[in-house]
A = this chain, B = another copy of it.
Amino acid sequence: MHEGTFEFGHADGGVTAPAGFLAAGVSAGLKRSGKRDVCVLAAAAPCAAAGVFTTSATAAPPVIVSREHLSGGMLRAVVVNAGNANACTGELGMAHARAMADAAAAALGCAAGEIAVCSTGVIGVPLPLERVTSGITAAIEALDSGNDDDAAEAIMTTDTFSKQLAVTVTAGGRTFTVGGMAKGSGMIQPNMATMLAFITTDAPLAPNACDTILRSAVGRSFNRITVDSDTSTNDTCVLMASGAEGGAVLESGSAAYEAVAAAITEVATALAQMVVRDGEGATKFVTITVRGAASEHDAELAAFAIANSPLMKCALFGEDANWGRVAMALGKSGAHIDPTAFEIVFAGIVMCMNGTAIGFDEEEAARALSEPEVEILVDLHVGDGEATVWTCDLSYDYVRINGDYRS
């Protein structure tokens, strides 16, 4: 595929596809199922890195520790455990998060400040620390450039499939690789971050370039998805740039810089969409585009109001062309709406013009809505703000999964 003056290509694998990265995923006994639950993603040497984190006021200890360790813009590794979020665990939780970094630093022979720490799973239960640190040591012994599948599996909780991909991008005669993995299925409206996502590249990026590129990529990817409007206490997205491509550090504004930024956004968007496709109980992948809004912020407000409406989500599950619920969601969204101007197009079929019903073929609509992917397009006809948000429907299975998760 082509994008501006550069060219994307496919690469196999995930976070270890770019040169300079090793990973491992092991079973440390945190998941009752016995599945892999501790992951380490390490660079061969300390590398430029950036992170974005949950905006939750009840951010978990690992988020607080990772924010601190990433303030210098360099990382050697990220350690992750699944099955326990180490959230609402107070001073003990802080000590546990630091102990995870210490264990990784000791095994890797680096400073604890070069380790980012992530936890995901149940909130409010103290971490079984010994199992986690033993897992970290075992994972570091198993580090390999061919372990991306194991790593992506070890960060899963209610996910039904592991989420990873890698792309190459060529610009200015140089070829870079970007890889990524993510987990997430419920408690998904990341709000300035994501559940857990890790993106790697062999591009030589300065720490502040990592930060700028990551924030921009997350704003258009993980911050544009919602499964259930709930925001996790542990959301973290980390970018690591090994520089193993070998060329000079990329200057902001150069063709190669823009190409790598686009590739990172591409990987972030693909991972974000995988999270929605694996939304708890989801039977539909829904793309909601609002255009003609007074501003991009208004377009986001309107798109999220539609995406998070339980009534809209149930109608999608029921394959019901209930565009009136889109009109309802617009009305409560807080976006500027001209009630005589808006247009609603559901699965390619215009259902409402000038804020008013127009006739459409119900059979054709039923057919279109029976597809696994549905697009909702709203034109507010009051400006030129536009935003696209991805979400899923609300099914019996969402209720089943979340009525019986902790226990």
Contacts and interface: CB of A to CB of B under 8 A. Distances in A.
Given A58-B355, A357-B125, A318 B402 contact: yes
Interface in A319-350: 320-325, 327-333, 335-337, 339-340
Nearest to A91: B356
A219 interface: no
B328 A123 contact: yes
B357 A89 contact: yes
A357 B398 contact: no
A356 B123 CA distance: 10
A88 interface: yes
A399 B327 CA distance: 20
Nearest to A281: B399
A90 B230 contact: no
Contact of A123 (B229, B230, B324): B324
A71 interface: no
Q: Is the interface of A mostly helix, strand, loop or mixed?
A: loop
Given A330-B57, A337-B58, A317 B403 contact: yes
Given A58-B355, A59-B331, A328-B58, A311 B228 contact: yes
Copies assembled: 2
A33 interface: no
A297 B230 CA distance: 20
Contacts of A352: 88, 124
Given A228-B310, A311-B228, A332-B231, A327 B88 contact: yes
A56 interface: yes
A233 interface: yes
B396 A328 contact: no
B398 A314 contact: yes
Contacts of A232: 328
B357 A126 contact: yes
Nearest to A319: B403
Given A398-B314, A402-B314, A357 B230 contact: no
Contacts of A11: none
Contacts of A324: 85, 87-88, 122-124, 406
A187 interface: yes
B315 A402 contact: yes
Given A122-B324, A311-B228, A332 B399 contact: no
Contacts of A228: 310-311
B403 A318 contact: yes
A124 to B, nearest CB: 4
A320 B191 contact: no
A310 B230 contact: yes
A145 interface: no
A266 to B, nearest CB: 28
B314 A231 contact: no
Interface in A21-72: 54-59
A254 interface: no
Which residue of A93, A308, A356 has the most chain B CB atoms within 10 A of its CB atom?
A356
B59 A339 contact: yes
Contact of A87 (B311, B327, B401): B327
A223 to B, nearest CB: 14
B320 A405 contact: yes
A207 interface: no
Interface of A: 54-59, 85, 87-93, 122-126, 186-187, 189, 191, 228-233, 308-311, 314-315, 317-318, 320-325, 327-333, 335-337, 339-340, 351-352, 354-357, 394-396, 398-407
11 contacts: A58-B327, A88-B352, A123-B325, A126-B357, A187-B328, A229-B308, A310-B402, A314-B403, A318-B405, A320-B405, A396-B399
Given A123-B325, A230-B332, A398-B399, 8 more contacts: A57-B337, A85-B324, A123-B328, A125-B357, A317-B399, A318-B404, A396-B400, A399-B399
